[in-house]
Every structure is written in C-alpha cells, then in structure tokens.
C-alpha cells in the first residue's frame, strides 16, 4: 500500500515536471461552455468555432509572440447550461488551472456570471456569444464582446428601408416583455426616430404568448408601413400567421430573432417569404481575416471539418478567438494581461466577423447587423450591399 502511494507521488511529480516543460511552448486558453443542457446546441457550435481556430493556428505553427511561435491549447469545462456552474468553472480555470485567457461561454446569462469572475481575478475574456447591453454597464475592464448589442439589432434594417420606394414613413414596434426583447425594441424605437420614421405603435406582450390577434388588429388599425417584431422564434410564427389571418399587410415585416433560424422556413413555408431578419453574421459576408484569410475560407474550412455550413454561433466563437490571438501578438506577451487588454482596447482590424473596434466599455462598435430576407425559401443576405446575395424585395406583396 505504502509503495503504491510512493509510486503515485513519484509519477505525479514526473508528470508535473513534464507538463511544465511542455507548457513552456503552449499558450493555454480556457472555456466553460454549455456542452450539455438546454443551450447545448449553441454551446457546441461555439466550441466548434474555437476548435477550428485552434487547429488552423496550430497548423500554421501557432501564435507568434515576440520571435517565438506557441501552440494553442484550450481547456474546456461543461457548464451544463447553468450560469452559476459556468462561473464556478471559470473560477476553477483561473485559480486551479492557472489560465487567465478565457474564451467566452454562450448566452448572455453565462457571460454575465463568468465575466464577473474574470474581472475579480484580473483575467481576460473575449466573448462571441452574448448580446445583452447590460454586460457593458458594470464598469468592467476585462470583458470584450463582439456581438452587436441588443439595442442596435434593428438599426441596419431601418437604415436599409428608409431609402426604398414607395418611401416608408410609419413603423409599428411590438415586443415580448423579456429583458433582451425590450432592449431590442427600445433600440428600434430610437433608430426609427433617428431615421425620421413615425412610430405609430409601440407595445409589449407577455413572454411566451400564443395568441396575438388583438395586437394584430390594433396594429392594422394604425396601418404602418413597417412592422418590427422583437421577440423569440415562436412569437414570430404567431405574428406572421395572424397577420395573414387579419390581412395586416405592411410594406415590410422585420424580426430581430427568428428568420435567421432554419426552423422559421420549415414552420411557415410560403408565408415566410419576403420577411426580413437581423443576423450577427452570415456566411456570404466578404471580410478578410488574419487567420483564415477570409470569411469565405472560414466557411469552407468549417464545412470541410464539420460537414455543415457554420452559423453565427460558430463564427462568433472563431472570431472571438482570432481577436484574442491578434491582441496577444500585438501585445507581444501572453502573460501580461494589462498589455493584452490595451491591445484589445485599441483593436481595429477586419476579421471574419466584420471590422472590429471596441468602445471604452469593451463592447463592439460599428459592426452592424447584416440583414437577411427569405427569398424562394432561402435566407439571402440583402444588406449591406457589399455582401448582398440578392436585392431586397420591397414592398412586400400582400398575403396570398
């Protein structure tokens, strides 16, 4: 028994030395992700983004710091889609595993909880998986996020529509009364005013509602040119179906969430046609990228590795990692958190996710939201013009 104990001690000591010697040429990142649980789908997509980045970087020799190349290693934990657990795991990454470079989890709640931990321990987080404005109102210095925030979700859609003929003048905004959707709606209201629209309807409905016929009838009485829905997937289905029932025929219908999901077309079939949606990212954007070469190359590499086209979750993960890497290279250190933070604060580069700059709070600015439209049963990027696959159809034909 004693001998066995001794053996284990010796072995673990050897392992410790080997690991240390090995780790000298490796930069270790850490991530607590939803690999199981209700956000498992999104969490695994983000992980795929990280993995593809890691593989691509390592194939090229690694991250260049000074004159030396370091291989990338990522330590993952499964937070089981629980923000509290995610926070504990990030604490474990920092305090037990000694990792101070944290790649973000998926979902606003998890980013909210884990970024408080990275802030507390002076670790650094770059995240491509959460869009709540409240993440950036806490005075944190060590959190950088690349998702366009909720209040800016509908801005590009309203900007795109303002020059169309016949010119739209009135907007109706209807939103689910949860935090995210409320912020999206507030932002849409501000954007509508900025672009000179008149907001003729602005009301919320309870989260998870099944019947919005009264709301639709009310909106119809206001006869808006544009209908903006800020809610979740199921709400968009209800709004589309009941708009058709009650012959609510605005010149454009746009949703913050919904049309970007493949299920939107499956659920609504022909009725999904001509509806606009906001996307964080689309595969057709024509951006350059320091690691993958271009957005198109990223899409190709992702398809080759995972067999499916990437969506914005995977792209967000990969882009966050790319930005982290570029900041480390610019800082010339992967241990001096302060210098990497400064490199992020002054970051201004084109990546697969867009031209990325951060404001003083760490949130991305000026990235914009590409606009998609459902055309012949497919999501097509219609804005910005540089990335457009098709011309937006406006005004929307009346319901058949």
Partner 1 sequence: MIILQILLNGILLGGFYALIGVGFSLVWGVTNIINLAHGAIALLGAYITLFLFQHYGFDPFLSLPFSFIPLFIFGYILQRFLLNLVVKAQIFMLLILTFGIEIFLVNFMTTFFSADFRSVTPDYAGESLIVGNIVIPYIRLGVFAICVLITLLLSLFLNKTWTGKAIKATSLDIDAAMMVGINPAKIFAITFAIASGLAGVAGSLFSLTQAFSPSVAGALTLRAFIVSILGGLGRVEGALLGGIILGIVETLSSYIIGESYKNAITLAIMVLVLVIKPTGILGKKYFAEVKH
Taking the least distance from each CB to partner 1, the nearer of 61 and 397 is: 397
Least Å from the CB of residue 277 to partner 1: 17
CA separation for the pair 269, 254 (Å, rounded): 17
Taking the least distance from each CB to partner 1, the nearer of 165 and 210 is: 210
Q: Which residues contact 128 (CB under 8 A, 6 or more apart)?
A: 46, 49, 104, 145, 146, 147, 315, 316, 317, 318, 319, 320, 353
CA separation for the pair 381, 265 (Å, rounded): 15
Supply the DSSP symbol for 358. Answer: B
Least Å from the CB of residue 247 to partner 1: 5
Taking the least distance from each CB to partner 1, the nearer of 217 and 308 is: 217
Least Å from the CB of residue 137 to partner 1: 25
Least Å from the CB of residue 161 to partner 1: 24
Q: How far is CA 144 from CA 53, 192, 339, in A?
A: 18, 28, 14
Least Å from the CB of residue 80 to partner 1: 17
List contacts with partner 1 (CB under 8 A): 177, 203-206, 208-215, 217-218, 221, 233-234, 237-238, 241, 244-247, 263, 267-269, 271, 399-400
Taking the least distance from each CB to partner 1, the nearer of 266 and 378 is: 266
Query: Could you identify the residue written with the tokens 């206001």?
Result: 222
Taking the least distance from each CB to partner 1, the nearer of 8 and 221 is: 221
- 63-89 as b/e: b if 16+ CB within 10 A: bebeeeebebebebbbbbbbbebbbbb
CB count, 10 Å around CB of 312? 22
The neighbouring-strand residues paired with 74 are: 29
Taking the least distance from each CB to partner 1, the nearer of 73 and 218 is: 218
Least Å from the CB of residue 89 to partner 1: 26
């Amino acid at each position: 028994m004693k001998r066995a104990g001794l053996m284990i001690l010796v072995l673990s000591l050897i392992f410790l030395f080997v690991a240390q010697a090995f780790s000298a040429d490796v930069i270790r990142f850490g991530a607590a992700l939803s690999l199981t649980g209700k956000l498992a789908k999104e969490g695994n997509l983000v992980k795929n983004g990280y993995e593809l980045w890691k593989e691509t970087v390592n194939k090229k020799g690694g991250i260049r710091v000074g004159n030396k190349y370091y291989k990338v290693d990522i330590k993952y934990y499964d937070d089981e889609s629980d923000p509290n657990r995610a926070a504990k795991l990030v604490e474990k990454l920092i305090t037990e595993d000694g990792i101070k470079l944290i790649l973000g989890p998926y979902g606003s709640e998890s980013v909210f909880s884990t970024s408080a931990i990275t802030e507390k321990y002076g670790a650094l987080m770059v995240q491509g998986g959460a869009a709540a404005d409240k993440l950036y109102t806490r005075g944190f210095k060590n959190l950088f996020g690349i998702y366009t925030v909720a209040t800016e979700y509908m801005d590009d859609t309203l900007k795109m529509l303002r020059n169309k003929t016949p010119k739209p003048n009135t907007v109706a905004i209807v939103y689910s009364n949860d935090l995210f959707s409320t912020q999206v709606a507030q932002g849409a209201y501000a954007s509508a005013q900025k672009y000179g629209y008149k907001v003729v309807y602005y009301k919320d409905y309870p989260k998870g509602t099944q019947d919005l016929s009264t709301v639709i009838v009310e909106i119809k009485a206001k006869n808006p040119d544009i209908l903006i829905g800020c809610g979740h997937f199921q709400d968009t289905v209800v709004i589309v179906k009941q708009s058709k029932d009650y012959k609510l025929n605005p010149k454009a219908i746009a949703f913050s969430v919904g049309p970007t999901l493949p299920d939107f077309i499956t659920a609504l079939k022909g009725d999904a046609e001509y509806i606009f949606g906001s996307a964080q990212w689309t595969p057709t954007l024509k951006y350059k990228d320091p690691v993958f070469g271009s957005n198109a190359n990223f899409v190709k590499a992702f398809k080759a590795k995972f067999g499916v086209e990437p969506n914005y979750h995977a792209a967000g993960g990969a882009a966050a990692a790319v930005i982290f890497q570029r900041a480390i290279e610019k800082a010339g250190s992967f241990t001096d958190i302060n210098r990497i933070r400064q490199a992020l604060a002054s970051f201004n580069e084109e990546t697969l996710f867009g031209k990325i700059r951060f404001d003083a709070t760490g949130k991305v600015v000026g990235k914009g939201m590409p606009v998609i439209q459902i055309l012949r049963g497919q999501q097509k990027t219609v804005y910005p013009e540089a990335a457009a696959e098709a011309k937006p159809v406006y005004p929307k034909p009346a319901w058949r």
